[in-house]
C-alpha cells in the first residue's frame, strides 16, 4: 500500500472487549519516573536571546545553523506524518530508526530478569538483540512451514510475565505478509502489547494496521523511512499507538533523539509523497520482474512470494552461490543458516541495472556447473 493522504474515518472510541490498562503493564520505575525537562521544555516561546541551554551562540565554523538543540517533540514532522498516515500526532512516537523504537518498548514494559517476550523466527534480528541487551527472556515460537503464525504454539508460551509479542508483516527475511486474521486473533486474545513491525508495508498488497489503533488499545505499529522512503541514512522510525503508550515512550526517550539535520531533511522528504509512491511502483515492478526471471535460472530452486523490497530465493548451495556473487562484486544476504530458510539467499531489489547484473551473474553460475 503506498503512503497516501488518507484520513482516519474509523470512530475514535475503543471497541475492544478487552479491559486493557497500560498502567498494569508498564514497569514501576518508568511509571514513577520524572522525565528530564529540557531547556526547550521549560521555555518554548519566541525570544530574542536564548541563553538557557548552554548552546554556543557563535555557531560552528563548519555550518552556522546547527548550533541549537532540535525540537525534542518533533512537532512539525508529526504534523506532516499525521496527514500522510491518517493518524493524529498524539498517536505518533519518533525514534532514531525503528531500532530505537524497539529498544524503548523493551525498556518501558519489560522488567529485566523477570518478564518475557515472544518472537516468531525466522524474523528481524533486532528483537532478539534488544531482548538480550535488556536482559529480557525471549520465547521463540517459530513460524509454520508456510511462514505463517503458529497460534496454537503461541498460546502455550504466553504467561503472566509475557509483556510483548513481536510480529513482523511483511516479514524479514521470509518476505510474506502474515494472515490478517491471525494478527487480529493475537490482538484480540493477548492482554499484553502486540507490536506489528510494518517496515515493508508500502511494498505490500496488505492494508496497514495503523488505521486500527482505536480498535486495539494494545497495538503498536512500527514504520520507518529506511525502506520505501529511501532514507535509511537519516535514521527515522515511527511507532503508532494509543496515547498512553506514546506518552510512556516519550517519557523515556533521550530528549533530543532526532537530530536537527535529520528533522530538516525529513520535513523536505515528507512533501514528496507522490515521488515516493512512484518509486514504490517501480521497485514493486522490478521485484515481480526479477522473481519471474529468477525462475528460469538453473541454480534457482524456489523464489518465495514477496510483499517486500527483497526476495527470498532458494538456491541449494547458498554459500557457494553467495561467494560466486561476491566474486562479481555483488553482495546479497546469506540466510542459509536460519531455521526454515535453509539454502536461501535474501536478495534486495535494487535499481534496474543492479537487478539485471544480479540475474545475469546467477545465470553464469548455472552455466559454470
* Residue 130 lies near ligand PLP (rule: CB under 6 A): no
Q: In the range 294-323, which residues lie near ligand PLP by CB under 6 A?
A: none
Which of 309, 311, 306 shows the shortest CA–CA distance to 362?
A: 311
CB of 198 to ligand PLP, least distance (A): 8
Q: Which is nearer to ligand PLP, 27 or 346 (CB)?
A: 346
Candidate residues 72, 86, 97, 242; the one interacting with ligand PLP per rule CB under 6 A? 97
Q: Provide CB contacts within 8 A for 29, sequence distance 6+.
A: none
How many binding residues for ligand PLP (CB under 6 A)? 13
Check: CB of residue 192 under 8 Å from CB of residue 21.
no
Candidate residues 204, 237, 294, 365; the one interacting with ligand PLP per rule CB under 6 A? 237
CB of 199 to ligand PLP, least distance (A): 4
DSSP state of 215: T
Compute CA distances 277 → 38, 82, 163, 305, whole Å.
37, 17, 36, 21
Taking contact as CB under 6 A, which single stretch among the options 133-141, 155-163, 221-229, 255-263 is the one that binds ligand PLP? 221-229
Residue 140 φ then ψ, to 5° = -95, 125
The β-bridge partners of 118 are 139, 165
* Residue 226 lies near ligand PLP (rule: CB under 6 A): yes
Q: Which is nearer to ligand PLP, 27 or 253 (CB)?
A: 253
The per-residue DSSP string of 285-329 comes to HHHHHHHHHHHTSTT--EE---SSSEEEEE-SSHHHHHHHHHHTT
Candidate residues 53, 75, 133, 232; the one interacting with ligand PLP per rule CB under 6 A? 232
CB of 27 to ligand PLP, least distance (A): 23
Candidate residues 116, 224, 306, 336; the one interacting with ligand PLP per rule CB under 6 A? 224
Candidate residues 124, 203, 322, 365; the one interacting with ligand PLP per rule CB under 6 A? 124
CB of 197 to ligand PLP, least distance (A): 5
Q: Which is nearer to ligand PLP, 99 or 115 (CB)?
A: 99
Q: Provide CB contacts within 8 A for 91, sequence distance 6+.
A: 213, 240, 241, 242, 243, 246
* Residue 98 lies near ligand PLP (rule: CB under 6 A): yes
DSSP state of 232: G
Binding mask 169-198 for ligand PLP (x = CB under 6 A): ---x------------------------x-
* Residue 122 lies near ligand PLP (rule: CB under 6 A): no
Which of 242, 211, 241, 217 shows the shortest CA–CA distance to 9?
A: 211
Candidate residues 94, 168, 234, 249; the one interacting with ligand PLP per rule CB under 6 A? 168
Cell readout for 302 is: 524456489
Residue 192 CA to its chain's centroid (Å): 19
Pick left, alpha or beta for residue 147 (phi over 0 → left; psi -120 to 50 → alpha; otherwise beta). left
CB of 101 to ligand PLP, least distance (A): 8
Check: CB of residue 307 under 8 Å from CB of residue 280.
no
Check: CB of residue 171 under 8 Å from CB of residue 147.
yes
Residues of the shown chain interacting with ligand PLP in the complex, contacts defined by CB under 6 A: 97-99, 124, 168, 172, 197, 199, 224, 226-227, 232, 237
Amino acid at each position: 500500500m503506498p503512503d497516501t493522504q488518507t484520513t482516519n474515518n474509523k470512530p475514535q472510541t475503543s471497541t475492544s472487549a478487552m479491559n486493557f490498562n497500560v498502567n498494569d503493564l508498564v514497569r514501576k520505575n518508568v511509571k514513577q519516573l520524572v522525565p528530564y525537562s529540557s531547556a526547550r521544555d521549560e521555555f518554548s516561546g519566541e525570544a530574542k536571546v536564548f541563553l538557557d541551554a548552554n548552546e554556543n551562540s557563535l555557531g560552528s565554523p563548519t555550518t552556522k545553523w546547527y548550533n541549537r538543540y532540535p525540537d525534542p517533540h518533533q512537532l512539525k514532522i508529526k504534523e506532516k506524518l499525521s496527514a500522510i498516515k491518517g493518524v493524529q500526532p498524539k498517536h505518533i512516537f519518533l525514534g532514531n530508526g525503528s531500532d530505537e523504537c524497539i529498544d524503548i518498548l523493551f525498556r518501558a514494559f519489560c522488567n529485566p530478569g523477570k518478564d518475557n517476550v515472544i518472537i516468531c523466527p525466522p524474523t528481524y534480528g533486532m528483537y532478539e538483540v534488544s531482548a538480550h541487551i535488556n536482559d529480557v527472556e525471549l520465547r521463540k515460537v517459530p513460524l509454520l512451514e508456510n511462514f505463517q503464525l503458529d497460534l496454537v504454539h503461541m498460546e502455550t508460551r504466553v504467561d503472566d510475565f509475557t509483556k510483548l509479542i513481536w510480529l513482523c508483516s511483511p516479514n524479514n527475511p521470509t518476505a510474506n505478509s502474515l494472515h490478517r486474521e491471525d494478527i487480529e486473533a493475537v490482538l484480540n486474545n493477548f492482554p499484553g502489547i502486540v507490536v506489528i513491525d510494518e517496515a515493508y508495508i508500502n511494498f505490500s498488497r496488505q492494508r496497514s494496521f495503523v488505521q486500527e489503533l482505536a480498535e486495539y488499545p494494545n497495538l503498536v505499529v512500527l514504520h520507518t523511512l529506511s525502506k520505501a522512503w529511501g532514507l535509511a541514512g537519516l535514521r527515522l522510525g515511527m511507532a503508532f499507538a494509543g496515547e498512553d503508550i506514546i506518552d510512556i515512550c516519550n517519557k523515556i526517550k533521550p530528549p533530543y533523539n532526532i537530530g536537527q539535520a535529520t528533522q530538516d531533511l525529513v520535513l523536505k522528504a515528507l512533501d514528496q509523497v507522490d515521488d515516493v509512491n512512484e518509486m514504490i511502483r517501480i521497485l514493486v515492478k522490478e521485484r515481480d520482474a526479477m522473481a519471474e526471471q529468477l525462475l528460469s535460472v538453473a541454480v534457482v530452486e524456489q523464489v518465495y512470494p514477496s510483499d517486500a523490497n527483497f526476495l527470498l530465493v532458494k538456491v541449494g548451495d547458498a554459500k557457494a552461490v553467495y561467494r560466486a556473487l561476491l566474486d562479481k562484486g555483488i553482495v546479497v544476504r546469506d540466510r542459509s543458516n536460519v531455521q526454515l530458510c535453509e539454502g536461501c539467499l535474501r536478495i534486495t531489489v535494487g535499481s534496474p541495472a543492479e537487478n539485471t547484473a544480479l540475474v545475469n551473474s546467477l545465470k553464469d553460475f548455472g552455466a559454470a556447473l
